[in-house]
Structure 1
Amino acid sequence: MATYVFVHGAWHGSWCWEKVIPLLEKQGHLVLTVDLPGIDSEKTHDVSINLQRYTDSVISVIDKANEPVILVGHSMGGIAISQAAERHPEKIKSLIYVTAYMLKDGEAMLDIIRTDKESLIAPNLIPCNEGTAFNLKSDKLIDIFYESCDQKDIENAASRITSQPSAVFSERLSLTDERYGKIPRYYIECLQDRAITNECQQDMYHALPCKKVFTLNTDHSPFYSKYEELAEILLHEI
């Protein structure tokens, strides 16, 4: 049996994996989740919330496992799993990017966001907490994240969205071939994604080749819209 560690993306929390986790646990696997610093809306103004703290959070969960883990990151969670892999490659069996930012050494999320011209993220950002965090326009959440999701899931997710600390958007990753580069990478692309467009996803996994790329015909939130298919990939294809 394997140990999975799930890392959520921006504006979300570990709750977003709630439909996927039971399917893995039913097969006898251990599943651990990370709540990145700042998901509590009262703390998103904390200027000390940065990539280092994100990485520390991931490592603290990985350390609970008795074996190397399958580390899964969604969206912004991609930068956290990459940097965690650089720090402790011996603790990670494989890296799974679920329509996630998979950056090269020296890149920052903003570099990618600025080139992803069709993404709905940048035009719908609202700076808040004196610029230390971002919100998204509430009337655009479905378009950005949940176009293929059921109404009940949309309502549940939208009610739990929080502000997102902004510092991590501009921080550059520090990755090496000797550490990060030796861990097998897999990418799960989502064809209908309007947060990270499919063209952008393809640019990233062509620039940083993966062992295998899987395709889901859905939006930015496959953990709701295609959770059974997502779990099937995690269970049987990787």
Structure 2
Amino acid sequence: MMSTPQRSVLPLIVLVPGHWLGAWAWDEVLAHLRTAGLRAVALTLPGLDDQDPRRSSRTLEEQAAAIQAVVESVPEGVVLVGHSGANAPVSLVLDRTPELIRRVVWVDSGPVAPGNVFAPDLAESVEELPLPSFDALGERASLEGLSTDDLDRFRARAVPEPGPVLRAAVQLTNDARLRVPTTLVCCSIPGPRVLELAQVGDPMFAEVARLEHVEVIDLPTGHWPMWSRSTDLAEAIREAALST
């Protein structure tokens, strides 16, 4: 039986990057948090390590298990920070061990609904999804605030997302996940608009309307604030962690 997190001790902040990204994506944020005296780690999920010979066959279950292993190793509890497409494995961990998560921070993202599949039409023959051209990517997610150096680093270090991860349905059964205190850091879509979309049942944000304890922080920029506004994002995460 898992113990209740020790609230008198500051939690470990666990930073989980979105699609195509590894722990490196959080370097600037991680440095700010550690300078502020907080404990924080960044993860590279299974399938996003370019040295893994089985990389393209890694699954969503393996990604969730990797996060859960870190969560379960910290008796005082964690603040779980998920960016973009990390919302699928992070949602699974919230469902499985809500009592160990003192707060979840969604960075230009949000919890997924039961049964959600990121790419339901992706053919089984597609082993992996490389980072698209920036023209194509910019049609789906804002690149606002990213410098040429940011884009060059993104292109050079991005790792294709495994097909099995993108085709997997997120199975959620534990409504206790909805009671975990939540912070939405809204970047490419303003907070009030996110809440409006949640209330009308927009598939991307419908699950937000079911959350019991939600704080909304607006951080106007593009979809990758860990590069475009790293200091401000770190401060938002720091405040969220200290509020647990």
Classify the TM-score, shorter chain: 0.7 to 0.9
Out of 213, 217, 241, which is 1:214 matched to? 217
Query: Is contact 2:84–2:108 with CA below 8 Å preserved after alignment?
Result: yes
CA separation in 2, counterparts of 1:13 and 1:145? 20
* Distance of 2:102 and 2:147 partners within structure 1: 33
Mind listing any 5+ residue stretches in structure 2 that lack a counterpart?
1-9
The answer for the alignment partner of 2:154 in structure 1 is: 157
Match of 2:41 in 1: 32
Deviations, residues 16-43 of structure 1 (Å, cap 9, x unaligned)? 1111111111121111222111113465
Decide whether the 8 Å contact of 1:44 with 1:165 is kept in 2. no
Are residues 176 and 207 of structure 1, via their aligned partners in 2, closer, same or farther at CA, if it must alter by over 3 Å?
A: same
Whole-Å Cα distance in 1 between the matches of residues 49 and 142 of structure 2?
Answer: 20
RMSD: 3.0
Report the Cα distance in structure 2 between the residues aligned to 1:201 and 1:30, rounded to whole angstroms: 34
TM-score, length-scaled by structure 2? 0.78
Give distance in 2, aligned partners of 1:139 and 1:191.
16
1:66-104: CA deviation from partner (whole Å, max 9, x where unpaired): 311000000111111110111112221111111125211
Is the contact between residue 83 and residue 109 of structure 2 (CA under 8 Å) also seen in structure 1? yes
Partner of residue 116 from structure 2, selected from 103, 107, 116: 107
Q: TM-score, normalised by structure 1?
A: 0.80
Paired position in structure 1 for 2:165: 168
CA distance in 1, matches of 2:196, 2:54: 29
Q: Distance in 1 between matches of 2:30 and 2:128?
A: 29
CA contact (8 A) 1:104 1:208 kept: no
Runs of 4+, deviation exceeding 4 Å:
42-48, 197-202
Could you say which structure has the higher strand fraction? 1
Return the alpha-carbon distance in structure 2 between the equivalents of residues 199 and 109 of structure 1: 21
The structural deviation recorded for 1:178 is 3.6
**Does the residue aligned with 1:11 lie in a helix, a strand or coil?**
coil
Distance 1:216 1:173, change over 3 A: same
Structure 1 position 229 matched with structure 2 position 232? yes
* Percent of residue pairs identical: 24
